[in-house]
């Protein structure tokens, strides 16, 4: 084996495709979540470097909209992301002490919404949707939207 240069966006897309496959085949929601989370973060940073709002930034902007202040308690970016939207992904990836061995979460649901964010970032970068992304859209409309 030899060392080679790799494009991080391309690797993120590979992670996203693998996450979609794992999710749609119901093989490993935890792996789908961590792979989609890695892809979401890299694709989101690629958008940020281009001055384009990523999926997480958009959801925070909508969450903080004054029109919804009666519905949503005020949260900082860190509260919204680290302790909110990324809480389960972070819990899976990190162990801070021997008292931190378990947590409560719906990992399938977390994987689903992380995939939505990652695919959203992929689309915002202007890439053409893949076959798996179309399958995921169909699954989403059938199982979540109810169409």
Q: What digits encode the pLDDT tens for the residues 74-127?
A: 899 999 999 999 999 999 998 887 787 899 999 999 999 999 999 999 999 999
Is the residue at 2 inside a domain? no
Is the residue at 52 inside a domain? yes
Is the residue at 1 inside a domain? no
Is the residue at 109 inside a domain? yes
For residue 27, the model assigns a pLDDT of: 98
Task: Flag whether the pTM goes above 0.85.
Answer: yes
Is the residue at 3 inside a domain? no
Is the residue at 36 inside a domain? yes
Least confident of 7-11, 30-34, 97-101, 138-142: 97-101
Domain of residue 66 covers: 8-145
Q: Could you tell me if 85 and 56 are in contact, meaning their C-beta atoms sit under 8 angstroms apart?
A: yes
> How many domains does the chain contain in total?
1
Smallest CA-to-CA distance from 63 within 82, 85, 46, 47 is with 85
For residue 97, the model assigns a pLDDT of: 78
For residue 70, the model assigns a pLDDT of: 85
């Amino acid at each position: 084996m030899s060392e080679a240069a790799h494009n991080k966006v391309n690797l993120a897309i590979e992670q996203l495709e693998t996450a979609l496959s794992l999710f749609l085949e119901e093989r490993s929601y935890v792996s789908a979540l961590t792979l989609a989370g890695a892809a979401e973060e890299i694709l989101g940073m690629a958008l940020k470097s281009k001055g384009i709002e990523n999926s997480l930034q958009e959801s925070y902007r909508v969450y903080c909209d004054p029109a919804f202040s009666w519905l949503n308690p005020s949260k900082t970016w860190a509260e919204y992301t680290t302790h909110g939207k990324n809480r389960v992904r972070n819990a899976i990836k990190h162990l801070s002490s021997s008292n931190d061995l378990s947590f409560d979460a719906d990992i399938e649901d977390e994987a689903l919404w992380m995939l939505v964010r990652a695919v959203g970032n992929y689309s915002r970068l202007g890439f053409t949707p893949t076959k798996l992304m179309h399958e995921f859209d169909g699954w989403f409309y059938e199982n979540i939207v109810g169409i």
